[in-house]
Structures are given as structure tokens and as C-alpha cells.
Amino acid sequence: MVDLEFKYKNLIEKIQEEAPFKPEIALVLGSGLGEFADRIDTIKSIATHDLPDYPESTVQGHKGFIHFAEHGGKKLVIFQGRLHYYEGYSISECILPPFIAKSLGCDTIILTNAAGGINPNLRVADLMVVNSFFTMHIQKALTELMGVASVDQKNAFLDVPALVLGHKFVQAGLDEGIALKEGTYWFQTGPSYETPSEINMLAKLGADAVGMSTVHEAVYAGINGMKVGIISCITNAAAGMGHEKLSHKDVMETAELVKTKFERLMKRIVEII
Ligand code: HPA
């Protein structure tokens, strides 16, 4: 088990020094959804490369900023740029956003991501409230966060990942007239997209959407007592479910299309949670 307090002592000291206030809510922006940070009242922005021991995000569409912002009387910390397991980072690096959020005193975290739609009811540009997820591909690596001693407890946490904000997300969607879908997210390590046969298998196992992030952040936040909610932006039909060849460029383009809807939803969520 990695001692995160020890590993990131300098980083946390620096960010606590720089933070203009104690945030209540953290928001992690997924692939292509980063522009939201430019559409909210930002009080202060910190480039992650100015923080000691903060790894560089190498993926296009992940900028590497931590913003402190306010909306609807709530104080937010927004992570624009995420670290992915497929970039070669360890779990203790990938969970830096929720770790920082927790260290700054946030009790709530909203995780967003881009995902491929497996369930045929999901359309490109839909927003899906994640009500459960699969962590099979990352279970061993998760021991970095919780050790190997309490196996029962670990499995219980993984099965019940504290996704307690979903009903508020649905309410925010109703308030804004945005029809949200709901479903189960399957984590793939990536970086390559799945084959049609793999997607066929995942559909049979009960996955509604597939992506390459988020679940470890949710597990970390959940086991550390934070309220967690996840929204997936369905950026493409998963392999074999549509006719397009999958590409990160298309993922980014769809995320661009949903940005107004996403902004309205996120702002409303922040107002009501
Ligand atoms: N598969 C995995 N991850 C993804 C996808 C996909 O189809 N779309 C966006 N992220």
C-alpha cells in the first residue's frame, strides 16, 4: 500500500498554500469536456506543471490545470486534465485529483468521462449517469490504495462504490430538460479501443458503456468517505456497434458537440447538491 501523504507531502503543502479557499465540491473533467472550466467563474488557476511531483498528462484534450471556482454559492476545485492508467501511470498517480480534493477538505466529487456506448439505447452525445461500474481489469492495481489485508472489506467497497449522487444528477437533468440515460460503466485499461468481439462479450456481461478512466478515482474517493457521482458522455458507439472507425479525434468532436448541454447540467448539479 502506498503512503500517499508521504509521497505527496510537498505537493499538498504547495497546493494548500496556493488555494484561495477551502473547496466543497471537486469536479474532474473528462476527455474533451475540459472547456467547462472556461465557462465558470474562476478565482484562481494553477498549472499542474508548477506543482512538485505532479505528473504531466500526455493525452490530447487534457490540459493540466487545477482551477478554483465558484458557482451558485458553492466553492469548487476543478481538475482540467486527468492522468490515465494507460499512460503508464501507477494507480497512486492516477488518483491524484481525488487525493488532492480530499486533502483540501472536499466531501463531494463529480467525475466525468468520455465513453463508448454498448447498450443500443445509448446514442452518441447522450449523457449517462453511472449507477455502477466494473473494476475487473484494475483490481490488482487497486491494492496500492487499500493494501491486501482486508480482502472482504475491499471487495465490499468495490461492489458498493458510494455512488450516492446519481439521484441528484437525475433531478438536475429534469430541471434542465436534459434527458439523462443511466447505466453501468466498464473500465478497460486501453489505450487501444476494444474489438467488436470484446464489446459483444461486455454487452453480455451487463456493461452499458466502456471507457478507460474514473473507476479507481471513484473507489479512492468512496473508501475515503467522499460522496461520489459519475457522468459519462457517450462520444461514440463502441466497436462494432456503429459503422465508424474509432478515433480519439471523434471522441473529442462529440464532446465538443455536447458542451452546452454538459455546462447546463453541471452548473445545475453544483447548485442542487
Ligand atoms: N472505448 C473505450 N474508451 C472510450 C471509448 C470507447 O469506445 N470512447 C471513449 N472512451
Which stretch of DSSP H or E encloses residue 215?
helix 215-223
CA–CA dist 244, 111 (Å, integer)? 27
In this prediction, residue 47 carries a pLDDT of 93
Q: How far apart are the CA of 116 and the centre of ligand 1, in A?
A: 4
Neighbours of 170 (CB within 10 A): 14
For residue 188, give the ligand 1 atom closest to its CA.
Answer: 2
Select from 137, 186, 210, 253 the residue to mutate for testing ligand 1; criterion: most ligand atoms less than 8 Å from CB.
Answer: 210
pLDDT score at 257: 78
| Ligand 1 pocket, residues with Cβ under 6 angstroms | 114-116, 188, 193-194, 210-212, 235-236, 238, 246, 251
DSSP state of 11: H
d(CA 73, CA 54): 29
SS (HEC) of 168-203: HHHHHHHHHCCCCEEEEEEECCCCCCCCHHHHHHHH
Q: Give pLDDT < 70 ranges for the chain.
A: 59-62, 147-162
Quote the pLDDT of residue 81.
84
Determine the pLDDT at residue 62.
59
- Residue 59 pLDDT: 67
Query: What is 4-246+255-272's CATH number?
Result: 3.40.50.1580
The answer to whether residues 222 and 157 touch, using CB atoms and an 8 Å cutoff, is yes
**Pocket test residue of 186, 235, 241 for ligand 1, highest count of atoms within 8 A of CB:** 235
Nearest CA to ligand 1 atom 9: 115
Query: At 8, which amino acid appears?
Result: Y
Please tell me whether the overall predicted TM-score, pTM, comes out greater than 0.85 for this model.
Answer: yes
What pLDDT sits at residue 154?
A: 54
**Ligand 1 center from residue 71 Cα (angstroms):** 30
Contact predicate 189/137, CB 8 Å: yes
Q: Locate the domains of the chain by residue range.
A: 4-246+255-272
pLDDT of residue 150: 55
* Burial class (CB within 10 angstroms; exposed 0-12, middle 13-18, buried 19+) of 226: buried
